Amino acid sequence: MAKAKKAKEPEVENTEEAVLEKPEEEKTEASVPEEKKEDGELEKLKKQLDEKSDQLLRVAAEYDNFRKRSQREKDAIYVESKASIIKELLATADNFDRIFENADAGFEDYKKGVEMTYRQFSETFKKLGVEAFGEVGDEFDPNIHNAVMHSQNDEAPENTIDKVLQKGYKTGDKIIRPAMVAVAN
């Protein structure tokens, strides 16, 4: 019987070892799926980060392309507008050429040619939306007039334009050149 007891004891010991080992195995098996789960979530997050990074790079590239395209369009508009203004002025320039080429013309003919060309020039300005301003008698406005001198004129009201030295020009509300004037004190 002693042998039988000894045989049973190892079985009990083996069973105890087996019982002790099972929780460790269960812990290992339970932690493996959690690690896989964490790895899967990590991979998913990395994939999302890569997608967002790619999306950000694409938006940045699109913005850069938009900025460059806008600058090219702006430059093209500037060149086109400049060319259209010059085109409008070419007819006037041609008439000045004709005036000066006519060597046989007398003073009255020159005068008439210059007057006609000036009217054409004024019509071109009107067509382009350019207006002259700064007339004698207008009230002085420092925003659109450049006072270069004062004059003592008893007949002119105070703070009015007494003399126009250079006309001012504007298109719409944009001042192209302020009028150079003398202001009455």
Query: Within 13 A of 137's CA, how many CA atoms are on the CB side?
Result: 1
- Per-residue pLDDT tens, the chain, 185 aa: give them: 444 444 444 444 444 444 444 454 454 555 556 777 788 889 999 999 999 999 999 999 999 999 999 999 999 999 999 999 999 999 999 998 988 888 888 899 889 989 999 999 999 999 999 999 999 999 999 999 999 999 888 888 888 999 999 999 999 999 999 999 999 98
Task: Give CA–CA dist 166/156, Å, rounded.
Answer: 19
8 Å CB contact between 168 and 178: yes
Q: Which domains does the chain have, with CATH numbers?
A: 52-128 (3.90.20.20), 131-185 (2.30.22.10)
Query: Within 13 A of 126's CA, how many CA atoms are on the CB side?
Result: 6
Helix (H) or strand (E) run with residue 184 in it: strand 179-184
8 Å CB contact between 128 and 154: no
